[in-house]
Chain A
């Protein structure tokens, strides 16, 4: 058996483990609370003391996706039998479903803008990163710094001229405008991250390909792209998460047609007072995909948050 002085002993490990698990449980509690609240009835959600054990209910989800109006018992009677389970849930609250809510639309906007900007960002970013990695671009360091600094800018400060520009171009509250904007913001991250990934691919592969008679373009998409596939995928997820989560630009530049979910979720209110289960349901549907992506990304998280500087 090998013995190492730097290997912590069993007691230390156990102690460290307990503390970390304790912290993890505290930190995950608010998230679990969000998810749980989504399945509570409105009365349970504001009960005192807070209810840990409760009867699950889909009221939150039904309220999230529908618009309802309050109805008197006579009116409910006149409506006849509820046609399906979610109408039943609405009836039980003394309300009638008057139509779908705008949450679905807003969620779809988030999907369109998120994926649209990510795709555009990856196309531009991969090309630029390849050029920065392989060619002698004049003023390379300055350009790279300039690209990074664009990401650091306070969104509210940038939003003033963008608002004016979009208004003149008719891009305010459009999907195209938001896609272009998020692409602009995310490009810095994608260029820096991808440059790191491409730097790691040995240049010999391409040289061999060039000698075999490939053109630069062929070498790029037949040799470099497949090699960088993991890097491109994880960079794409980072860009997607950013566009998905973004709030400041969305709240200032969109109001209706192109509004994404983050500015919408806080505005959800129920019939009389804040409908916390509906808000929690909206948040859950919105946050869970990000958690799944986080699990997929876990090996590359560090790179993502340091613009590719820390490689572990």
Chain B
């Protein structure tokens, strides 16, 4: 019996719940289709090449429920980004009183998804119902079926959003729940926007976040997407990020993963038109036993003259496990493709484990593709150098680890966001 079938009874009851929502009929049909697809596919298993190193079978053991509305009235984080447009979601549901959107330019549409489906139905419908090939991650179908809230952002032509938009998903004061936020971002021609998606927890345990973010970037547009994942140490976080780039568009992504028991980031970038560029950077810090962070990236180079680069770095301690799989696929027409991939890992403990697989699949001849991967430990000589100058061992180790991470941090263009991410990472990851 497949995993999905075993889970299906309580999943069905959750789905009945979702179906009872006030929603247009096309959405109801769409959700039912997606739910059917998930039941058919089931949970990903390690037999699938794309999930070779990551086992999510334990998700079956918990009978997840939807969260009840949270009563929390204050953001339990030490600091939030000061000059930013803030949207807060409590246990996956939008919270008006905690959010702050007065800095938003008037022509931009920013609204919680469940409202936007009613108010901007015609805008959202084609994006949700678009045809797409079979997804590698079956949990994305579950997200489509269960997504009740999230962010909808529409930036019209030539509009530059001057402040970053900070999305904060707070998971608070509850256990054993499933949250499936869905974010849809549409950046029109020549517009610019920066988004920071943060997942954080406060007194919540063993919950499951299954988030999906779709980023549609039109011609000549620029998008910076930052993601911070600091879920509770008993939580599971699965994210599917889909980027669609038109010609001459520019996307920068940055992932910082330092929370959760198991985190999986699936990033897909489609460059279907010429001259697009995408720079992906990431950081993962694992400090607990049995913790696992898995980054899978798929870059689809279809058109000519596109540029992509990846730089992912990770530090692993205790009995943790990190997975990196970057894949660059250059189709026959993708001439003048430039693709770079690198993944560097620092192991601090004898029990830590790294599985890395930077792949290239190339069918075009006029390309330059490179990849590199390293796994190693801290340099003895560097440590000795610092110790010889009277620095405590612990501090010296910290300095070296910080220096290792700094290369990726430098890739964050926005100074405020960079400062904020550096603070967050240092606070939580003992760097």
Q: Do A and B come from one complex?
A: no
B residues engaging A (CB < 8 A)? Answer: none
A residues engaging B (CB < 8 A)? Answer: none
